[in-house]
């Protein structure tokens, strides 16, 4: 018998019924839903009912930990051009020589005991607040690209209009749990001012939780000031409303920009994602075990530093892992070695009691083709199974992070929906056991029309809005479209049907006034 599959003659009901019965976000969502173009309602963050996959046993973990302790003590980590940081380390009992900090065994772990293992990342709409840590997984859009690949297929510098579009798409994507941070770099706005427009866009066009600016301490201060306009001063000082990406300058360096931003955020109780930025073979040893050792040492130093600033400030164990091509020096994604690094790092983070960040939908491809998809899927499957809590770059990342792609964003967010469904694990309820259905149908018949199928099919399977599973003939009639063409059309449909969430006009005015005041105080041509 061949395993080639012809269409099954369907007795199932039509899609419309299911769609219409869902609660839409608003008039636009309902309208779009009726025409098939709407995204459906936002889903809460993922609470994983599945276990974590592990690649290291107890002996391996202890070996890596012992080696990291050795690095911290013997080699040390540099905190550059920041006398305050060095003094704080001296006061904490570290051995500081020049800018190099040597850590007595156990110091960093001891300091990290005051860091929370889980906390709430608050959104301005409380229904969109998410948990960071534990069994929670939160998907966050692509971060950082200076370029976009737009809906006309053109690769060009990103603008604030693109930025707003990606915020809107993240707001609408059901399994995107955050508005993100630098979803692309709006290079049409001067570098010293653009953080204001970025933070404003997150607050204006979305009500999902967002990330703050980290490119200079004063931009971190601006981010906090704007958050306070929306959330109130006291709320911000005592809760976490921003996640902030603090990359180590691997190997074994934290620079003044990153340490500066870290200090501002930790001081105000905002969360730092301390992430060694690793291209193995360049920023770390070419081997997985060596890379894991260095990552752990860097995170221990950087994360524990937040507790010197403010005990109890939330901090994440971050890992950005890629390899480099030893031929061209280019970074490579979705390959086996970074996956092993990330799985191992997740285990090390759990042992430290810190929430963990890694992965996403990473790829090196220039277009959303099968290379992009394989690399993204390899990374994303690992990300979920590793038990990652905070998933930056979950959708839209192309070309090694140089490009935010509209089409890839749509394809990726569909995959996020699949991951969210997978994370529910296996329902073992009496209904799911389906013994009555098996009795009813019996040998040689089929389940298409049976009562159990009718009662359960609406929620049984994840439904992709982009995958084409029609017959070849139907696909041919519909123009032989590749998935990126369907993604393009769906993206246009979403952007057309977008409606902003409510924002109190008085708060909006206050934000705009703050931005004007800050921009007026800055030189125009600053870069």
Q: Are 394 and 141 within 8 A, CB to CB? A: yes
Angle between helices 336-352 and 288-309 (to 10 degrees): 40
Give me the least distance between CB of 416 and a second copy, in Å please.
Answer: 11
> Is 152 a binder of a second copy (CB under 8 A)?
no
HEC readout, 81-144: CCHHHHHHHHHHCCEEECCEEECCCCHHHHHHCCCCCEEEECCCCHHHCEEEECCEEEECCCCC
By CB under 8 A, residue 526 contacts a second copy: no
Please report how close the Cβ of residue 239 comes to a second copy at its closest, in angstroms. 26
Site for a second copy in 401-440 (CB under 8 A): 401-402, 408, 411, 415, 418-419, 421-422, 424-429, 431-435, 437-439
> Shortest gap between Cβ of 337 and a second copy (angstroms)?
6
Site for a second copy in 5-44 (CB under 8 A): 5-10, 12-15
Site string (281-300) toward a second copy, x via CB under 8 A: xxxxxxxxxxxxxx------
Q: Which C-beta is closer to a second copy: that of 430 or that of 517?
A: 430
What's the distance, CA 519 to chain centroid?
30
With respect to a second copy, which residue has the nearer C-beta, 269 or 323? 323
Closer residue to a second copy in complex, CB, 233/424: 424
Which residues make Cβ contacts (< 8 Å) with residue 358, sequence separation at least 6? 318, 319, 320, 321, 342, 345, 346, 383, 386, 388, 391
Q: How far apart are CA 149 and CA 408, in angstroms?
A: 9
State which of positions 447-506 bind a second copy (CB under 8 A).
447-448, 452-453, 456-457, 460-464, 466-472, 475, 480, 482-484
- What distances in angstroms separate CA 241 from CA 29, 119, 128, 366, one per listed residue? 27, 11, 11, 34
By beta-carbon proximity to a second copy, the closer residue of 189 and 253 is: 253
Residue corresponding to tokens 């204001």: 196
Distance CA(263)–CA(83), nearest Å, equals 13
Q: How far is the CB of 149 from a second copy (least distance, A)?
A: 10
C-beta of residue 397 within 8 angstroms of C-beta of residue 362: yes
User: Of 27, 105, 330, 496, which one interacts with a second copy (CB under 8 A)?
Assistant: 330
Using the rule CB under 8 A, is 144 a contact of a second copy?
Answer: yes
Residues of this chain, 232-261, that bind a second copy according to CB under 8 A: 245, 247, 249, 251-253, 257-258
- List residues bridging with 253 in a β-sheet: 78
Are 407 and 150 a contacting pair, CB within 8 Å?
no
Q: Count of CB atoms within 10 A of residue 104's CB?
A: 14
Does position 445 interact with a second copy (CB under 8 A)? The reply is yes
The CA-atom distances, in angstroms, between 373 and each of 149, 360, 469, 488 are 16, 12, 18, 16
Among 335, 353, 489, 515, binds a second copy (CB under 8 A): 335
Provide the mask over 348-367, with x wherever binding to a second copy is found by CB under 8 A and - wherever it is not: ----------------xxxx
Q: How far is the CB of 132 from a second copy (least distance, A)?
A: 19
Of the CA atoms within 13 Å of residue 301, those in its CB half-sphere come to 38
CB-nearer residue toward a second copy: 114 or 215: 215
Give the distance from CA 253 to its chain's centroid: 24
Q: Is 337 in the site for a second copy (CB under 8 A)?
A: yes
Token duo for residue 277: 């930025």
Q: Tell whether residue 328 is a contact of a second copy (CB under 8 A).
A: yes
Q: Candidates 23, 74, 152, 524: give the one binding a second copy (CB under 8 A).
A: 74
Burial of 440 (0-12, 13-18, 19+ CB in 10 A): middle
Q: Does 67 bind a second copy (CB under 8 A)?
A: yes
Window contacting a second copy (CB under 8 A); options: 36-44, 141-149, 308-316, 491-499? 141-149
Is residue 159 within the footprint of a second copy (CB under 8 A)?
no
Contact status: 86 vs a second copy (CB under 8 A) = no
Total residues interacting with a second copy, rule: CB under 8 A: 158
CB of 217 to a second copy, least distance (A): 14
Q: Is 187 in the site for a second copy (CB under 8 A)?
A: no
* Minimum separation from the CB atom of position 213 to a second copy (A): 11
Site for a second copy in 105-134 (CB under 8 A): none
Query: Minimum distance between the CB of residue 360 and a second copy, rounded to whole angstroms?
Result: 10
Q: Are 407 and 491 in contact (CB under 8 A)?
A: yes
Looking up tokens 């084409």 gives 468
State the Cα–Cα distance between residues 342 and 357, nearest whole angstrom.
9
Q: Is 78 in the site for a second copy (CB under 8 A)?
A: yes
507 binds a second copy (CB under 8 A): no
Min dist. Cβ of residue 165 to a second copy (A):
18
In this structure, the number of other CB atoms found within 10 A of the CB of residue 102 comes to 17
Under the binding rule (CB under 8 A), the answer on residue 212 touching a second copy is: no
Q: What character string, x for contact with a second copy (CB under 8 A) and - otherwise, covers 369-408?
A: xxxxxxxxxx--xx--x------xx-----xxxx-----x
Residues in the chain: 527
Q: How far is the CB of 88 from a second copy (least distance, A)?
A: 18
Q: Residue 14 burial (CB < 10 Å; 0-12/13-18/19+)? A: exposed
Give the nearer residue to a second copy in terms of CB position, either 77 or 229: 77
CA distance 14 to 12: 7
């Amino acid at each position: 018998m061949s395993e080639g599959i012809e269409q099954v003659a369907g007795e199932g009901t039509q899609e419309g019924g299911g769609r219409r019965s869902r609660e839409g976000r608003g008039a636009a969502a309902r309208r779009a839903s009726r025409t098939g173009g709407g995204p459906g309602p936002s889903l809460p963050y993922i609470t994983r009912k599945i276990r974590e996959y592990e690649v290291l046993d107890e002996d391996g973990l202890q070996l890596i930990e012992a080696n990291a302790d050795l690095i911290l003590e013997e080699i040390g980590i540099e905190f550059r051009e920041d006398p305050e940081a060095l003094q704080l380390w001296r006061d904490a009992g570290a051995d500081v020589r020049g800018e190099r900090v040597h850590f007595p065994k156990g110091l960093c772990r001891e300091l990290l005991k005051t860091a929370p293992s889980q906390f709430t990342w608050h959104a301005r709409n409380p229904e969109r607040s998410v948990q960071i840590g534990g069994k929670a997984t939160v998907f966050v859009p692509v971060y950082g690209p200076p370029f976009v690949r737009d809906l006309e297929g053109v690769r060009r510098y990103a603008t604030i209009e693109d930025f707003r579009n990606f915020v809107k798409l993240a707001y609408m994507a059901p399994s995107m749990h955050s508005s993100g941070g630098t979803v692309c770099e709006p290079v049409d706005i001067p570098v010293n001012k653009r953080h204001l427009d970025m933070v404003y866009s997150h607050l204006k066009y979305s009500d999902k939780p967002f990330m703050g600016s980290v490119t200079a301490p004063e931009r971190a201060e601006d981010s906090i000031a704007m958050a306070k306009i929306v959330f109130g001063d006291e709320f911000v000082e005592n809760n976490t409303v921003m996640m902030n990406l603090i990359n180590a300058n691997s190997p074994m360096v934290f620079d003044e920009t990153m340490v500066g931003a870290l200090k501002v955020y930790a001081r105000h109780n905002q969360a730092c994602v301390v992430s060694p930025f690793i291209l193995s073979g360049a920023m770390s040893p070419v081997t997985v075990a060596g890379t894991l050792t260095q990552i752990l040492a860097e995170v221990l130093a950087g994360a524990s530093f937040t507790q010197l600033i403010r005990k109890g400030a939330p901090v994440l164990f971050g890992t950005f892992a890629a390899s480099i091509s030893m031929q061209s020096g280019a970074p490579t994604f979705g390959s086996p070695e970074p996956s092993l690094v990330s799985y191992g790092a997740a285990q090390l983070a759990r042992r430290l009691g810190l929430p963990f960040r890694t992965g996403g939908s990473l790829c090196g491809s220039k277009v959303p083709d099968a290379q992009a998809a394989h690399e993204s899927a390899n990374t994303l499957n690992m990300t979920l199974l590793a038990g990652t809590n905070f998933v930056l770059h979950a959708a839209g990342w192309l070309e090694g992070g140089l490009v935010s792609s509209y089409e890839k964003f749509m394809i990726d967010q569909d995959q996020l929906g699949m991951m969210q469904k997978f994370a529910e694990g296996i329902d073992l309820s009496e209904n799911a056991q389906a013994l009555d259905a098996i009795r009813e149908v019996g040998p040689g018949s089929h389940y298409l029309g049976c009562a159990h199928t009718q009662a359960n099919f609406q929620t049984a399977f994840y439904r992709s809005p982009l995958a084409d599973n029609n017959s070849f003939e139907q696909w041919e009639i519909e123009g032989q479209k590749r998935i990126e063409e369907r993604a393009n059309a769906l993206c246009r449909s979403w952007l057309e049907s977008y409606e902003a969430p409510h924002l109190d006009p008085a708060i909006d005015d206050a934000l705009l006034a703050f931005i004007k005041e800050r921009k007026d105080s800055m030189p125009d041509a600053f870069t």
